[in-house]
Structure 1
């Protein structure tokens, strides 16, 4: 079957010269050909992401045009075509080209595009959709994936990633495009002359920087904090640096070797602040100047990692759960007045630490499925109903949102607040690690971990399905010495209480996720990645001490891995 699509590409006389050349290079490699053509690159609820190259299962100008054609149909279906689409892109290979291709397809349908003149962070795109009153948004990025990847993320008129109901409509439109090679794209110069391709830059930057001023919780605290920041060859340098400066921070040190955009991300094994190796240069620079705080953002600047020195002067990289807990506690503890109907929103794989902290301040908590689009969707819902007022949102994978002028995770906002939190505790003679220890003493020692298993290609997808099926259907009664209290299957939205044999419906959309709730606030969860060929295993435990939590976490992980190794 895949050979039909390969032949269609091979025989297409107008094929892009570079793609044609790369297709010739793999013509004698049947395995590579099959992987490039065995399916269409899936456009899912988070858009699409894949390796660059020729083929229906690759990111290239034709698969991007197919996605843009679906977006055009979606915008027209919503009756919003006159409002146009905002488009941003990161530092990856082909990012600007894909942005322009998107605008060319939209322009063919008479839909205006607002395209940034140069790379911009994903959260600024979210802001720009709202600022420009656009009908939708697109950001061309593969976040922290390896250099050979790129992606296409779609946003709704609220500036959030498309939630399931809207995403399904757009996915249907994308899937109706029968031949990606035949999607028409208008001439760029003609679109510019007609005002259907409009370039934007400083006007949106200035508006975003003005909105950033609202992130500050205490405007009058002393900001004598030494900060080292690395954008990891991505998009965040200008906005983070300017944001810190306008907030009153003066001791800002940029890791210059990683400040220049670089699609190869040549100084890191992975441009992901979740990976501790990404901090190596920042740590070296931090040690040389005695910095109080290190910060790193991923290439599209929607994730932030931080590191702080311990009592020995060694830098410790905090987890997303730990950073989220510190930011949340600071917002709730230092705000002059908390809303009576305030709500903190997190995901189902994020630590319960945040819920306990919020409850201590009388703030409600809500869990959503994994993916910040669900947090953005809830913010919009509460805006319309008045049921709750958003105070903070986060997920364990280093994504945070402080103020809702953006509707996606925003590392620029998080960087400003993290610096303010660091300054607050420094003024009291404490580090962020000291503040974290105080939270553990007050609320219990929460400890989490994440394991990822990479399984690429068709065979890998089949293995991931087999693993999910096994855990989903297994009668697991205990794990790591802890009884299983309930099993939450998000594919059916059913929560089954193991001991009682009862079931109840969960008020969440369906998703290919299984979560095992153990006794004593422990849990583990399985979730295939929606953007990478991986299956992820999340773990969370709680006890009264670090030592006990470490032992408990090891035991739960060992039990899961024992079953997993029997399957692979």
Structure 2
């Protein structure tokens, strides 16, 4: 039996290999134990699932385990985006949620994400507690020690999974829910749909066959815009590609935008927590380009003046905007759970990451691609310019634009170990001819140069791979900076 481990955003595995009904029940029991040990079982739990193969069946199994542990279940009556599942926690004042999704991973994967009662990604101490429960349950199954409650007969007899030490005395039940309309109403408080409607935008919406279909298209049409749908039907194979809104995967949308003269393309990943944006002319707008536009918009147009939080790999253009307005910047390791924590605790008006996740003040502390797409439409409608033109204006106001790129370098497992050891000692005086001003080690090794340029080296947690991020005002300098740090760390 493989060890079940929660990564940066839950447990993911290959369907029918390690992601099996038995293992999903084990993880469900671990979560049920966590909830009951916190005496929160009476509040109930939301269960959502995406469009992946057997996700609805896995959701039924999660619901069974929760009910057998005395925990009331709010089960979605249809596939849901992750941010909508998280929002439903607040709607029902629940103890948390389980979201069954592998997000943007290949179609053979599925996943299990626990969302606590604050409606954001689980922090490390929470996932550690759940992992301890999983290890205990797996060890019990290996020893075939069937310790269970009378109320959990079928599950325990069939699978040898020990139940919680005590079951609450209230009667658990299963309530079918559809949180879409509460979610729509909430977004209309955050986004100016009237302005978007008056702009009469022509928009291409690409759901990439994921559970985000029926959200952006519905809200934009309801506002009065013309919407063309792309990949807005269920396909558990995702058309044979990854449901990830990258420039490469959105080439078809880019071509359509350019050919039709449309003003905007909006894409979502498999569970709609990440966004993709295409500007007029079919120009792909990266998250590192969009986040500064949004931060400026929140301050200058919406009057949301406050600190910003970003991951260590995200553009420092956000820092320039914050500095001009006298605001703090909170830098975090990679992983939206850390962004969410700062949104909750630091009063940040925006939290974002270079991989395409964001949320804002007033929303749940979970990344939301649907919200991101609507905010992009609002920015376009307010300015009556292309996003690329707005980016130039923002760059001019805050001292010049910045270019960001990521390079992935594969190694052997042995090389990876050696390079990680060298990175721990890596402390050069200069990189690419510029003095190093700061060395940051909260996630990988980040070197900030006196010029304002920076480079970050992060090893992959699962593969013999290093990701090298760099940012500079001079696009031609990026490759030089990346090569310099690769030479210094002996990455080849």
What range is the shorter-chain TM-score in?
0.7 to 0.9
1:224 aligns with 2:200: yes
CA distance in structure 2 between the partners assigned to 1:272 and 1:454 by the alignment: 21
1:541 aligns with 2:466: no
Q: What residue is the counterpart of 1:308 in the other structure?
A: 279
Aligned residues: 468
Deviation of 1:150 (Å): 1.4
Q: Confirm or deny: 8 A CA contact 1:487 1:517 kept in the other structure.
A: yes
Helix, strand or coil for the counterpart of 1:238? coil
| Equivalence map 1:391-470=2 (5 Å) | 391-426=349-384, 430-442=385-397, 443-453=399-409, 460=413, 463-470=415-422
Q: What residue is the counterpart of 1:489 in the other structure?
A: 441
Q: Confirm or deny: 8 A CA contact 2:343 2:351 kept in the other structure.
A: no
CA distance in structure 1 between the partners assigned to 2:339 and 2:250 by the alignment: 28
1:84 aligns with 2:9: no
Q: What residue is the counterpart of 2:244 in the other structure?
A: 272
Helix, strand or coil for the counterpart of 1:445? coil
Residues 526/317 of structure 1: CA separation in 2 closer, same or farther (3 Å cut): same
Give the alignment partner of residue 515 of structure 1, picking from 429, 446, 467.
446
Q: What residue is the counterpart of 1:13 in the other structure?
A: none
CA distance in structure 2 between the partners assigned to 1:357 and 1:519 by the alignment: 18
Deviation of 1:187 (Å): 6.2
CA distance in structure 1 between the partners assigned to 2:127 and 2:270 by the alignment: 25
Residues 97/420 of structure 1: CA separation in 2 closer, same or farther (3 Å cut): same
Deviation of 1:470 (Å): 2.0
CA distance in structure 2 between the partners assigned to 1:157 and 1:521 by the alignment: 39
Q: What residue is the counterpart of 1:557 in the other structure?
A: 482
Residues 59/560 of structure 1: CA separation in 2 closer, same or farther (3 Å cut): farther
CA distance in structure 1 between the partners assigned to 2:25 and 2:98 by the alignment: 13
Helix, strand or coil for the counterpart of 1:87? strand
Residues 52/473 of structure 1: CA separation in 2 closer, same or farther (3 Å cut): farther
Q: What residue is the counterpart of 2:159 in the other structure?
A: none
Residues 112/321 of structure 1: CA separation in 2 closer, same or farther (3 Å cut): same
Residues 186/321 of structure 1: CA separation in 2 closer, same or farther (3 Å cut): farther
CA distance in structure 1 between the partners assigned to 2:484 and 2:176 by the alignment: 55
Deviation of 1:330 (Å): 1.4
Q: What residue is the counterpart of 1:325 in the other structure?
A: 292
Deviation of 1:542 (Å): 3.1
Structure 2-normalised TM-score?
Answer: 0.88
Structure 1-normalised TM-score?
Answer: 0.77
1:110 aligns with 2:70: yes
| Equivalence map 1:324-363=2 (5 Å) | 324-335=291-302, 337-339=303-305, 342-363=306-327
| Equivalence map 1:37-436=2 (5 Å) | 37=2, 40-44=3-7, 46-54=9-17, 58-177=18-137, 178-179=139-140, 196-201=173-178, 204-217=179-192, 219-220=194-195, 222-246=198-222, 248-255=223-230, 258-266=231-239, 269-273=241-245, 275-309=246-280, 313=281, 315-335=282-302, 337-339=303-305, 342-382=306-346, 388=347, 390-426=348-384, 430-436=385-391
CA distance in structure 1 between the partners assigned to 2:195 and 2:381 by the alignment: 11
Q: Confirm or deny: 8 A CA contact 1:232 1:265 kept in the other structure.
A: yes
CA distance in structure 2 between the partners assigned to 1:186 and 1:527 by the alignment: 47
Residues 79/370 of structure 1: CA separation in 2 closer, same or farther (3 Å cut): same
Q: Confirm or deny: 8 A CA contact 1:121 1:301 kept in the other structure.
A: yes
Q: Which moved more, 1:463-472 or 1:236-245?
A: 463-472
Helix, strand or coil for the counterpart of 2:215? helix
Q: Confirm or deny: 8 A CA contact 1:105 1:186 kept in the other structure.
A: no
Helix, strand or coil for the counterpart of 1:245? helix
Q: Deviations over 1:411-465 (max 9, x none)?
A: 1111111111112222xxx21111111222232221111123467xxx74x6544
Deviation of 1:139 (Å): 0.8
CA distance in structure 2 between the partners assigned to 1:295 and 1:242 by the alignment: 13
Residues 433/205 of structure 1: CA separation in 2 closer, same or farther (3 Å cut): same
Deviation of 1:146 (Å): 1.1
Listed as ranges, the gaps of 5+ residues in structure 2 are 156-170
